[in-house]
Structure 1
């Protein structure tokens, strides 16, 4: 009798431990998403994506990873990103969805309030790029004037659709800071102009016909063929406040198709694009 009771008690302890591990090992439940099947997906080799993660926001990194895995792009640019969060997202993409990415960070702030960490070693805050192919020649540049918050751009060389390309990721100054964004656009455009083919991803905090984006439009086109500086009203919004602030700018590259997808985990939508690189 004692042995049977002991066995039942041990079994209950094991079940309880499994329940705790199941809910806590991933930093919380999947927040309403179905449990991952474990099936290995492959990235779409000619697909790129940009997404402002929203910070601070109540979103788990498991959910962020699941959102990215749904589209499985070759390259993902994220803004308002904490370096520790990006690492967790990358780890979940591999462990839950079989998607293996390299990561490069473009942090311009050490922000304890947003990103945590020890007071003497706060987490890096800014941009990051994830790529299924290795990345080289990373540059990380802080704009001379970030506006109300330090801002910058990063760039790497990586493969998209089997082609080696320069890929940029940026976050311009917040709204109502037009003059600051204009100078940021001039700084970024000077670097873009050095490359015959380039992909420029990011949150520009400006609508397509905003004058401050003129230097970028002079060098590149948006992935949406209908979206141009003079064609107000036909560009799909990329934010909850129905403005287009997020772009996939292409220089010397032809888009195939694109999509803007609402997200439950950010005030910005997911923008991804498939490219013709032949």
Structure 2
């Protein structure tokens, strides 16, 4: 039989074998991604995380998802987040690790250079909150003055440690824009003050003793009991340039412990904390 006649027959045999044997992996079964040995096996119901994922940084959303899955927080706030990137991160978390997060956005900017898309239809950029529990009462606000780039905050109500909590996620104006950040803190603090139990996370672009952060320190405490708004405060850096810019502020909630984890996928470290929403008293038991 000639080669031209054999090819259709071989193709038909291959198709028949595939029908009989089936695919090499079951359809619809999620791929289980590999995580470090120290990874958390299940979602930690009282864990909250903040992470500026760096943009534009050309990082893999699969790698970003793996970092989140390693610590498996109940809630994570992302800054410098493009909607398309977050969608892919959420998809990876579900398909590779079985972590099904809900997501809400606090985008304040449409930027083709940062988020891709078409010049006349650029991607949305800002903050996002991922939560294992449903989120309600979304507020997304842009600061009246963002400084050199539009900035804002978002707020949702969701469940942490079995209780409803108001979560705020923000990204303040860039460095060397102290007066702008002071105004932004004023707007944010006015909203936080309306809640007896709140968690405020984000990239504040300011060290703890920066004067513009005073309005937040009067309302809430840092998740690290040793971190104070003074030069003598023992505050662990959260950036590659050895400054603490990232915060988890607590109001009416006690920290059980926290960790700062450097990552190769951003110039900001991962910061997460395990919390006790049932009391305002501090506890210093370590995070696993």
| Runs of 4+ displaced beyond 3 Å | 1-7, 33-37
Q: Distance in 1 between matches of 2:211 and 2:36?
A: 45
Which deviates more, 106-115 or 232-241? 232-241
User: Where do residues 71-150 of structure 1 align in structure 2 (5 Å cutoff)?
Assistant: 71-150=71-150
Contact 1:209 1:232 survives alignment (8 Å) = no
**2: CA distance, partners of 1:210 / 1:139:** 27
**Secondary structure class of the residue paired with 1:65:** helix
Larger Rg: 2
Moved more, 223-232 or 159-168: 223-232
C-alpha distance in structure 2 between counterparts of 1:146 and 1:34, whole Å: 40
Structure 1 residue 65 displacement after superposition: 0.2
Q: CA deviation at 1:163?
A: 0.4
Q: Which residue of 2 aligns with 1:21?
A: none
TM-score, normalized by length of structure 1? 0.87
In 1, the alpha carbon distance for the partners of 2:49 and 2:34 equals 23
Per-residue deviation at 1:230? Answer: 1.6
State the partner residue of 1:240.
240
Residue equivalent to 1:214: 214
Q: Deviations over 1:54-80 (max 9, x none)?
A: 001021000000000000000000000
Instruction: Provide the rounded CA distance (Å) in 2 between the counterparts of 1:186 and 1:277.
Output: 25
The 3 A distance-change label for structure 1 pair 36 and 255 is closer
The TM-score, its normalising length taken from structure 2, stands at 0.84
Unaligned runs of 5+ in 1: 19-25, 27-32
Listed as ranges, the gaps of 5+ residues in structure 2 are: 24-30, 279-288
Cα offset for 1:234? 1.3
Deviation string for 1:97-126 (max 9, x for gaps)? 010100000000001111011222211000
- What is the alpha-carbon root mean square deviation over aligned residues? 2.6
2:223–2:273 Cα contact (<8 Å) kept: yes
